[in-house]
Amino acid sequence: MNGYQSKSRDIVWKQVSAIYSTLAAENLQYAEPPASFGTDGQKIRTPERILEGRVATCLDLAMLFASCLEQAGLRPVVLIKEGHAWAGVWLHAACFADPLTDDVQAVRKRVDSGEFLVFETTGIAQHHSHRPSLRIAMEQGHAHLRDESSFRYAVDVHRAREVQIRPLPSRTGPLKRAPAEPTDEPTPIEPTPQLPPLDPELLTPLDLPTEQTSEGRLLEVQAAGPDAQKPSAELQADQVNVAVHCAGACAARGCPA
């Protein structure tokens, strides 16, 4: 599918729905981060480890979706709030002005305008009889944005690529899948929800303020998970670096089929 080149949000939605359905059919299980992860950082499982162990945290799943969306030619965003992570994707060829934004109102504005889609990722790790549709996952993802006090930031992967944050190289061996529970084929692509009118060619540029250049804020690599205290701008920049590197590395290895 030609994604953004079609200038059709319906086409983009179908790609997102297909990825959601495919990952949901993998019969993954949700897992809390191990106690050894601590409160100042969180390790992220690669797709290989997720499929081998059949378990994933919310951050693992958000990064897995981001890698698959980027591999499909779309523009993913990883969203973090206190104690939780979920995913988003642009429905047309846009991005935020900075790789990292902590302005929840700016993010919510793009969702309300029909330009940007956010969705909860942990639903795919539920039992198939309780697994939510993508539409319900959207509602859950949007609900997270209404909790302004706990919102941390959104990491725009495409914008990060533009400031030369590149994927980490793959260092893993051949994939060894763990036996999965019997499951049906991936569910059909869901119909596109009602969206506000949008003409990408007439959109004004995104205007989120940036007090300092992204390049100047990217310091040494340090990953912090959603359970940490709200970080400084410098630490947030480090987290952008790690998150985008991991998403790119996941994409380089390919999505589970």
CA-wise closest residue to 227 among 239, 237, 209: 239
Q: pLDDT band at 43, cuts 50/70/90?
A: confident
* 114 contacts 196 by C-beta, under 8 angstroms: yes
- Paired with 77 in beta bridges are 88, 156
* CA dist., res. 109 & res. 111, Å (int): 5
What is the reported pLDDT for 66? Answer: 97
At residue 165, φ and ψ (nearest 5 deg) are -90, 110
Q: What is the pLDDT of the chain when averaged over all its residues?
A: 79
The owner of tokens 């533009």 is 162
Domain ranges of the chain: 3-183+191-253
- Would you tell me how many other CB atoms lie within 10 Å of the CB of residue 181? 9
Percentage of the chain modeled with pLDDT above 90 = 51
Q: pLDDT band at 29, cuts 50/70/90?
A: very high
Q: pLDDT of 156-167, one tens digit each? A: 999 999 999 988
